Chain A
């Protein structure tokens, strides 16, 4: 009873926990001293015109009357910003992406994506198995009404961008897991949206393939100036990639904490700075998960 009211206070932005965490992160090394726990932000604190996407008081329940999966989530992502969303299973992070992608409508609250339909990558590459790599990318171009004559060459360019030049004629089953996710990335880029949503896209890949895809993704992100919302349950991955890491609580899902990651790029998942911040964030994640066992 008392525990739940305390969490609610933190979620509302009035908690005092944020100062404590800043204390633990500063002074340990030079890299982490720039890492600031800013704590939860008050909704609407950013200027209205500077948002790639904005969630205001978003609450969502799958069945009316049931306990909400998401409860009063406020989130603003600026254009070109890389935000990682972290949380245990069942915290509603995937649901949040589905809401932003327009696959679900929130029970309450507002979801705004000024640039229109965002692109979305799933954990499964979700490529259509009866199409070639190129045709999968072309389908996205077709949806955007790109003239047929242009599609083939545009798809080839996009595949080249994810280092799959000349592989367009391959069928999905002829590609490795990492290659499939790169085709999926090329397909997402084909949508030409300034907002890219990613739902644990590398969770099923082996470590080295994931490293490579991290590099590929950060490069593409930098080149295209995309706003990325990256959902993961891997803390190091979140710190490796994100400029901001948001921690979500489970049942109901709320954004309870936020870290600005100001580590220099290029980062690696094994960089000391990444590891250090990951330790701190993991502590909070573990705390949040343990809460449910009590």
Chain B
């Protein structure tokens, strides 16, 4: 009885619902308009406002430095004047030597980092797949992350001699744990709901990894890469400072060490500045825009970014 009644009612339900459709649509459109915030465009003023404070701080530091030099608080060979350092930089640039030095270090750093990313990513995926492996290696990898990579330099020199291999070994040992941990924490933060969605949609296992799991893990992974780069760069400098040999060429670390040996304080300052500059530049030009894009896409940042 009841079943027949249901069949009848389901038979004419289509007509029942077309009538009030325009009403629903109007209401819906109104709700949509009210509940969607108007996009706010970050203006040029916002950029200027975020740029101004660090510039002021930088100029302030320069001023303090200059004042300290003018007061002759320390002899010149200990505290060179900003102008002297600037002169050394200018000389390095005009002779073109600066590009050789930068290239030697940056190319090493980038190559080492790229290999570290590949190795770390593969190891990270393997560890994420096996609970046993992760339980075993997890604490070791976290521990390695806090080991200063300079501690690897003596071992690397004994194993590989004063060669590029030794330097790359130090970079890898320094950066790989960061990349692994970044990927693992990125994967850990993927809500289980997303994988369910992939399965409900009927995506194959490889498609779920490619279209759901990896993109979902991207923010954590990127943070790991960023840290991995910082560790690569630091490890490289540690290695270059200690491992000086003619066949290694002159990188930033070797330049810095040479200046120390010759007691050229302006050179030491230039070395430090250039190392800092490269680190900041890579972060500013590569990682920050990438990170901002990824987070912005997901609505994870305010309009400040």
Using a CB–CB cutoff of 8 Å, the interface residues on chain A facing chain B are: 34, 36, 38, 80-81, 101-103, 117, 119-120, 122, 124, 126, 128-130, 139-140, 142-144, 163-164, 167, 171-179, 187, 191, 208-209, 212, 215-216, 218-219, 222-223, 243-244, 260, 262, 264-266
Q: Which residue of B lies closest to A120 (CB)?
A: B200
Listed stretches B22-30, B81-89, B164-172, B267-275; interface member: B22-30
Find chain A residues with CB under 8 A from B21 CB: 219
User: Is B29 within 8 A of A163, CB to CB?
Assistant: yes
User: Is A175 within 8 A of B6, CB to CB?
Assistant: no
Using known A-B contacts A124-B193, A222-B16, A260-B5, determine if residue A212 contacts B27 with beta carbons closer than 8 Å: yes
Q: Is B97 an interface residue (CB 8 A)?
A: no
User: Is A179 within 8 A of B17, CB to CB?
Assistant: no
Find chain A residues with CB under 8 A from B193 CB: 122, 124, 126
Using known A-B contacts A36-B1, A143-B207, A262-B5, determine if residue A126 contacts B196 with beta carbons closer than 8 Å: yes
A119 to B199, CA, bound (A): 10
A163 to B22, CA, bound (A): 11
How far in angstroms is the closest Cβ of chain B from A281?
A: 15
Q: Is B146 an interface residue (CB 8 A)?
A: no
Pick the contact of B200 from A81, A119, A218 — CB < 8 Å?
A119
- Chain B residues 253-302 with CB under 8 Å of chain A are 294, 297-300
Q: Is B132 an interface residue (CB 8 A)?
A: no
Find chain A residues with CB under 8 A from B29 CB: 163
Using known A-B contacts A179-B32, A260-B5, A262-B9, determine if residue A140 contacts B16 with beta carbons closer than 8 Å: no
11 A-B residue pairings within 8 Å (CB atoms): A36-B1, A38-B2, A124-B193, A129-B297, A172-B298, A176-B32, A176-B35, A178-B28, A191-B202, A265-B17, A266-B19
How far in angstroms is the closest Cβ of chain A from B214?
A: 10
User: Is B36 within 8 A of A179, CB to CB?
Assistant: yes
Q: Which residue of A lies closest to B196 (CB)?
A: A103
Interface size on B, residues (CB 8 A): 46
A103 to B199, CA, bound (A): 7
A-B contact count (CB 8 A): 132
Beyond A36-B1, A103-B200, A173-B299, 10 additional contacts (C-beta under 8 Å) are: A81-B6, A119-B200, A126-B194, A128-B215, A130-B297, A140-B201, A179-B32, A215-B20, A219-B21, A223-B17
User: Is B36 within 8 A of A163, CB to CB?
Assistant: no
Find chain A residues with CB under 8 A from B197 CB: 122, 126, 128
Find chain B residues with CB under 8 A from A175 CB: 36
Find chain B residues with CB under 8 A from A167 CB: 32
Q: Is B211 an interface residue (CB 8 A)?
A: yes
9 A-B pairs with least C-beta separation: A173-B299, A176-B35, A260-B2, A265-B16, A129-B298, A215-B24, A143-B201, A143-B202, A219-B17
User: Is B299 within 8 A of A174, CB to CB?
Assistant: yes
Interface SS majority for chain B: helix
User: Is B6 within 8 A of A262, CB to CB?
Assistant: yes
Pick the contact of B24 from A81, A191, A216, A264 — CB < 8 Å?
A216
A101 to B195, CA, bound (A): 13
Find chain B residues with CB under 8 A from A163 CB: 24-25, 28-29
How far in angstroms is the closest Cβ of chain B from A264?
A: 7
Q: Is B205 an interface residue (CB 8 A)?
A: no
Q: Which residue of A lies closest to B298 (CB)?
A: A129
Pick the contact of B14 from A36, A208, A223 — CB < 8 Å?
A223
Using known A-B contacts A171-B297, A219-B17, A243-B9, determine if residue A262 contacts B31 with beta carbons closer than 8 Å: no
Find chain A residues with CB under 8 A from B9 CB: 243, 262, 264-265
A243 to B215, CA, bound (A): 40
How far in angstroms is the closest Cβ of chain B from A199?
A: 10
Pick the contact of B5 from A34, A144, A187 — CB < 8 Å?
A34
User: Is B35 within 8 A of A179, CB to CB?
Assistant: yes
How far in angstroms is the closest Cβ of chain A from B189?
A: 12
A124 to B298, CA, bound (A): 16
How far in angstroms is the closest Cβ of chain A from B130?
A: 22
Find chain B residues with CB under 8 A from A260 CB: 2-3, 5-6
User: Is A143 within 8 A of B203, CB to CB?
Assistant: yes
User: Is B6 within 8 A of A244, CB to CB?
Assistant: yes
User: Is A139 within 8 A of B211, CB to CB?
Assistant: yes
Using known A-B contacts A178-B31, A216-B24, A266-B17, determine if residue A102 contacts B297 with beta carbons closer than 8 Å: no
A264 to B10, CA, bound (A): 10
A208 to B30, CA, bound (A): 11
Using known A-B contacts A126-B194, A128-B194, determine if residue A101 contacts B17 with beta carbons closer than 8 Å: no
User: Is A80 within 8 A of B10, CB to CB?
Assistant: yes
Q: Is B216 an interface residue (CB 8 A)?
A: yes
How far in angstroms is the closest Cβ of chain A from B223?
A: 15
Find chain A residues with CB under 8 A from B207 CB: 142-143
Find chain B residues with CB under 8 A from A264 CB: 9, 16
Find chain A residues with CB under 8 A from B203 CB: 139, 142-143
A218 to B19, CA, bound (A): 12
A122 to B194, CA, bound (A): 11
Pick the contact of B20 from A81, A124, A266 — CB < 8 Å?
A266
Find chain B residues with CB under 8 A from A265 CB: 9, 13, 16-17
A102 to B17, CA, bound (A): 32
How far in angstroms is the closest Cβ of chain B from A202?
A: 13
Q: Which residue of A lies closest to B39 (CB)?
A: A174
A172 to B191, CA, bound (A): 16
Q: Which residue of A lies closest to B219 (CB)?
A: A130
Using known A-B contacts A143-B207, A191-B201, determine if residue A216 contacts B28 with beta carbons closer than 8 Å: yes
